[in-house]
Structure 1
């Protein structure tokens, strides 16, 4: 009889992804706020693009991390 257990290696990978997501969730909007409040600086457009990419990456990695954590708990082992 096989019992379903959490795969700890995949869980650790998912938690690392969520840690990176947490950092990006604070970095992206903070950088976006700084860029939008200083429109007269010379690097306005490149920093705006970078901050939007960081925000999008945070959303993507958030979904990927949650999916990895759920796979570690509920996916059947072959």
Structure 2
């Protein structure tokens, strides 16, 4: 009996990786926007949101890779 790739788990992993890719672009853009507007009153909240998106991208990437590896092996 040979093991086969779990396609449902692979699909979930790819969805997580796609979400991570979106966050990988949104996070730095938001952080850059915050640093360009340091004199505005919303500087700190925008910076916090950007950092949260960047951390979310890292977490989604690790979860996605783990699901993909579990589906293959």
| Residue ranges of structure 2 left out of the alignment (5+ in a row) | none
What TM-score results when the alignment is normalised by the length of structure 2?
0.97
Unmatched tracts of structure 1, length 5 or more = none
Runs of 4+ in 1 over 6 A off after TM superposition: none
How many matched pairs?
73
* TM-score, normalization by structure 1: 0.91
Q: Once the two structures are superposed, what CA deviation does each residue of 1:42-76 show, in whole Å capped at 9, x if it has no partner?
A: 110011111101000100110010000000000xx
Deviates more, 1:5-14 or 1:36-45: 36-45
User: Aligned equivalents of 2:58 and 2:16: distance in 1?
Assistant: 11
Q: Computing the radius of gyration over CA atoms, which structure comes out larger, 1 or 2? A: 1
- Output the aligned Cα RMSD: 0.5
In the TM superposition, 1:2-41 aligns within 5 A as: 2-41=1-40
SS at match of 2:20: helix
SS at match of 1:40: coil
